[in-house]
Structure 1
Amino acid sequence: MYIHIGDDIVVPIRDIVAIFDFKINNSPIVEDFLNGHAETIISTAGGSPRSFVVTEKNVYLSPLSSRTLKKRASCIPHL
């Protein structure tokens, strides 16, 4: 199954490692993580991102809130 995370980007749910609220970006640990993965960051947020989705290969900046993404993921029946 897939989840729409913004723009025209859909990500397989099985690839998602974590979904974070972008407000925690003030944390030095998160800042180091994002700086360390700068080459794999894909922005789907036209303006300012509200969350970021970590997958096995990429980090996506999303205009949708982490709460909205969680709701979308929980609506999908699990096998």
Structure 2
Amino acid sequence: MTAADGEREQRPLDQPHVSRMPADVTYRAEILTAHNGALAAGSAGYLDPRTGLFVLSAGFLAARGTCCGRGCRHCPYVK
């Protein structure tokens, strides 16, 4: 089954898939802090701490029900 089929990967929403955010990303801790704050607040996303761009949270993406195929950082459907 592919991500587009709508079945979520079985991992916690606060853990991005390694293909979308490798462990060696320079500011990984900052990203995860911002993302986890958005998850806790039930927000659709957060501002990336370095670029200022709006990034959708895994919670928001999971609620959509399917992967959009655009390579979202926190996509819960990536396997």
TM superposition score normalised by structure 2: 0.28
More contact order relative to length (CA 8 Å, sep ≥ 6): 2
More helix by share: 1
Compute the TM-score of the two structures, normalised by the length of structure 1. 0.28
Give 1 or 2: higher strand fraction: 1
